[in-house]
């Protein structure tokens, strides 16, 4: 690819996303299914406070909170700077 692009005078720009995965990724799915999963630490999970989300952080996409409730786990949320379908990795 790179050699052909160079021959054609085309520059290639690559974007590497390292701050989140898809909510369909096997790591995240395993983290959701089992709170004791080693993949749970790959993401940012927090307990809420007084029935509210962990804090007032907002999503960059203007979709409201950057916290989404974990199904089946009362008062537990996962963090996403962008959309809920892009849970943030715990760097």
Q: Are 2 and 11 in contact (CB under 8 A)?
A: no
Residue 4 confidence (pLDDT):
97
Residue 62 confidence (pLDDT):
72
CB atoms within 10 A of CB 77: 21
For 3-29, write each residue's pLDDT tens digit.
999 999 999 999 888 999 999 999 999
**Cα–Cα distance, 31 to 85 (Å, whole number):** 14
Residues of the chain under the 70 pLDDT cut: none
The reply to whether the predicted model has a pTM over 0.85 is: no
Residue 51 confidence (pLDDT):
83
Q: Which CATH number fits domain 15-79: 3.90.400.10, 3.10.20.310, 3.40.462.20, 3.40.50.620?
A: 3.90.400.10
Q: For 9, list phi and psi in degrees, rounded to 5.
A: 75, 25
Strands 45-47 and 67-69, sheet pairing: unpaired
Query: How long is the chain?
Result: 91
């Amino acid at each position: 690819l790179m050699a052909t692009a160079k021959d054609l005078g085309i520059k290639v720009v690559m974007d590497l996303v390292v701050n989140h995965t898809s909510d369909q990724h096997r790591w995240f799915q395993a983290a959701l299914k089992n709170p004791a999963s080693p993949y749970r630490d790959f993401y940012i999970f927090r307990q809420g406070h007084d029935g509210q989300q962990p804090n007032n952080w907002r999503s960059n996409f203007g979709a409201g909170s950057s916290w989404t409730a974990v199904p089946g786990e009362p008062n537990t949320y996962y963090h996403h700077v962008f959309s809920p379908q892009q849970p943030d990795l715990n760097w």
